[in-house]
Structure 1
Amino acid sequence: MSIGLCGAALAAVTAFPAQARPAPAPAWEPKETGSAARFRGLAAVSRSTAWAAGSEGTVLRTVDGGRSWQDVSPPGAGDLLFRDIEAFGARRAVVLAIGEGEASRVLRTEDGGVTWTETFRNTDPKAFYDCVTFFDDKHGLAVSDPVDGKYRMLSTRDGGRSWAVLPSDGMPAALDGEASFAASGQCLVSSGGHDVWLATGGGATARVLHSGDRGLTWTAAGTTVPAGDSAKGVFALAFRDRRHGIAVGGDYRADQASPDAAAVSGNGGATWTASAQPPPAYRSGVSWLPYGPSSAVAVGPTGSDLSTDGGRTWRTFDTGSYDTVSCAPDGGCWASGEQGRIARLGISSS
């Protein structure tokens, strides 16, 4: 099916109630990457262009819809764990490496990965950076797990060329044991020019923190997602605008159930309501689909789920393992995960 027809068919699938849906259904179309890395960082630029970042310092890029992938990994980065990547086209991207102390780094390319420049290296042994997000092609934030009782925010105003730690005065105190999960590059997400949300877990309550001023001041709201354990919490967020959000997560341990592992907000994250029919298991990534205002997809190690009502109910359409998902405005939706798995969303005839 052509790309244009695929988008139209997906729009039809997600636009109608279940009893009126046509036969075609969404399906992941795996792409051969030639890599065995685990790609938890993913940036969809378009139907044709996407970037993936993962283990052993691996970065891949495609500009032909996944038919071929270029290994554009930074030289000497084999010991780094890339968990998030933000791209601004086929040539510009910012990638985040996670870990304690100097393992947390930010690298940037302006030539499609031919060359990379390290623009930040963490020197605080108490900091551990998890995720990065951008409001536009200049302004962005990266988040560290709590340092001295509060989440730490790193800010850039020049597209990732330079970074500075923001004051923590406007950040609420972290709960005991609270942290964020570097599972899909979606623990810190933005919408519009100033709003940003942070997903948390590990504490007594799984919370979502919101800032309307690019990270200077924050408010915190509890969610219905399972909490109370270091393996539980909100793992990923997606906001289609400054009001409508979806949170997914649960318990990442394979032998543990994850009931109520999704929640929705219609007021910018001020309050959260449990999904009436959540995904059947832990999910680590979520994205709004560009085919309609109420459609979204969630992914995790045991499957992928579709919602056509803003995250209130979900149905599984794939049982493969993916860690993260990213959709571009032109309808290109991608997922990635373990053993070099990368796929683009298409249509099956079943």
Structure 2
Amino acid sequence: MTSKGKTRRMVSVGLCAAAVAAVLAAPAQAAQQRSGNAAGGDAAGRDAAGGDAAGSKGPSWSLKNTGADVRFRGLAAVSRKVAWVAGSKGTVLRTADGGRSWRNVSPPGAGELEFRDVEAFDSRRAVVLAIGEGEASRVFRTDDGGASWTESFRNTDPKAFYDCLTFFDSRHGLAMSDPVDGAYRILSTGDGGKSWKVLPNAGMPAALPGEAAFAASGQCLVSSGPKDVWLATGGGATARVLHSADRGLNWTVAESTIPAGDPARGVFALAFRDRAHGIAVGGDYRGDQASPLAGAVSSDGGRNWQQSKTPPPAYRSGVAWLPHSRSGALAVGPTGTDLTLDGGRSWRTVDTGSFDTVDCTPDFGCWASGEKGRVARLEF
């Protein structure tokens, strides 16, 4: 590509990112104006199927009919057209036409398994993780769009419970288990998930009493770049974020500002747009419990965390940076979707539909999934 062509492409991407941020902000700003004029009005907006309450024109979640009623906590967005979801009852679905149709590509005989994470490289290659104690934790891989699957890992340690997957590229990836004998256990693959090995735990800090990760959205283990990976925790006295700069061999640990001290509280999801800038969301997943400090940000690779000045108003289980944006991100949970335009320091609710996880792609394909077969794509 010529330098002039590169410049045009960079300008185009920058303008698109700016436009996305601007129109995403519009519904929330209009809702704020409306709430100031009409006491008791719904400032957050209607459910995804109905658009925003203020009637302003802007992007909103467009629900896609999956034909399923299971809970999809696993989501892998490949593009605006291609996405994979994985959930309860061993269910895996794939779309290649932007959600107009979905193909059930569930692994045969997996009906008793709970899929909580899926990592997809394209429309044909994907890896899914089933969670649970002992042999309930398994990894499956497909190279043909889900027409066939190979079970590449089955946990045989009754003390292990795997929660999340992440991949650095199409070959190198990790999976993590809750603490075994006082330390988190890490699996590694160098062939795209065809085979796995347990990494030595000499470089893993000791887990806190009662500490674990949350298999709520496939985002308790996330990576950025070729070697950096972060692990989110809760349940212990403090909610922590562990970081490795060498693909899981050695780890450092930092306390987040999100409250823990209870098995239901902690950091549920992380998103890093590069090896320095990260967002953490979480809270207390119990619906009758408040989550007043559900967001935090880091600008130094997770070594330090600062509490969001205006955090999400409730528990959030998923988070994703907006494409080509240095400051825009979405957070989702059972009570709604929140938007930040300042890198996670302040959030505003833009939708009240229920979702568990969210994922975005460079071609501005943002997807969300959750309970009762709900899957949506952000439409502009």
Q: Please confirm whether the aligned pair reaches a TM-score higher than 0.5, indicating the same fold.
A: yes
CA deviation after TM superposition for structure 1 residue 15, in Å: 8.1
CA deviation after TM superposition for structure 1 residue 282, in Å: 0.1
- Length-normalised TM-score, structure 2: 0.87
Q: State the alpha-carbon separation in 2 of the partners of residues 218 and 138 from structure 1.
A: 21
**Aligned to 1:103, which of 125, 129, 136?**
136
| 1:307-346 map, 5 Å | 307-346=340-379
Q: State the alpha-carbon separation in 2 of the partners of residues 6 and 324 from structure 1.
A: 24
For residue 9 of structure 2, what is the aligned residue in structure 1? none
CA deviation after TM superposition for structure 1 residue 292, in Å: 1.7
For residue 20 of structure 2, what is the aligned residue in structure 1? 10
The answer as to whether partners of 2:237 and 2:261 remain within 8 angstroms in 1 is yes
Q: State the alpha-carbon separation in 2 of the partners of residues 292 and 158 from structure 1.
A: 31
| 1:298-313 map, 5 Å | 298-313=331-346
Q: State the alpha-carbon separation in 2 of the partners of residues 50 and 326 from structure 1.
A: 10
Q: Does 1:275 align with 2:308?
A: yes
The answer as to whether partners of 1:290 and 1:328 remain within 8 angstroms in 2 is yes
Identify the structure with the greater helix proportion: 2
For residue 256 of structure 1, what is the aligned residue in structure 2? 289
Helix, strand or coil for the counterpart of 1:12?
helix
Q: State the alpha-carbon separation in 2 of the partners of residues 308 and 111 from structure 1.
A: 39
The answer as to whether partners of 1:199 and 1:235 remain within 8 angstroms in 2 is yes
**Aligned to 1:124, which of 157, 164, 174?**
157
For residue 211 of structure 1, what is the aligned residue in structure 2? 244
The answer as to whether partners of 2:21 and 2:328 remain within 8 angstroms in 1 is no
For residue 106 of structure 2, what is the aligned residue in structure 1? 73
The answer as to whether partners of 1:245 and 1:268 remain within 8 angstroms in 2 is yes
- Structure number with larger C-alpha Rg: 2
Tell me the amino acid that sits aligned with residue 342 of structure 2.
D
For residue 320 of structure 2, what is the aligned residue in structure 1? 287
Which digits, 9 at most, give the CA deviation of each residue in 1:52-93, with x for residues without a partner? 000000000000000000000011000000000000000000
For residue 162 of structure 1, what is the aligned residue in structure 2? 195
4+ residue segments displaced more than 6 Å: 4-8, 18-21
| 1:103-252 map, 5 Å | 103-252=136-285
CA deviation after TM superposition for structure 1 residue 329, in Å: 1.2
The answer as to whether partners of 1:249 and 1:284 remain within 8 angstroms in 2 is yes
Which digits, 9 at most, give the CA deviation of each residue in 1:32-57, with x for residues without a partner? 00001100000000000000000000
CA deviation after TM superposition for structure 1 residue 19, in Å: 6.9
Q: State the alpha-carbon separation in 2 of the partners of residues 110 and 333 from structure 1.
A: 24
Helix, strand or coil for the counterpart of 1:217?
coil
Q: State the alpha-carbon separation in 2 of the partners of residues 293 and 300 from structure 1.
A: 23
- Structure scoring higher RCO (CA < 8 A, sep ≥ 6) equals 1
**Unpaired segments ≥5 residues, structure 1:** none
Helix, strand or coil for the counterpart of 2:23?
helix
- Length-normalised TM-score, structure 1: 0.95
Give the aligned CA root-mean-square deviation in angstroms.
Answer: 2.1
Tell me the amino acid that sits aligned with residue 162 of structure 1.
S
Identity of aligned residues (%): 75
**Unpaired segments ≥5 residues, structure 2:** 1-12, 32-55
CA deviation after TM superposition for structure 1 residue 293, in Å: 1.3
**Aligned to 2:120, which of 82, 87, 90?**
87
Aligned residues: 344
Tell me the amino acid that sits aligned with residue 235 of structure 1.
F
Q: State the alpha-carbon separation in 2 of the partners of residues 141 and 276 from structure 1.
A: 33
Kindly tell me: are residues 168 and 232 of structure 1, through their superposed partners in 2, closer, same or farther at Cα, counting changes over 3 Å? same
The answer as to whether partners of 2:138 and 2:151 remain within 8 angstroms in 1 is yes
Helix, strand or coil for the counterpart of 1:10?
helix
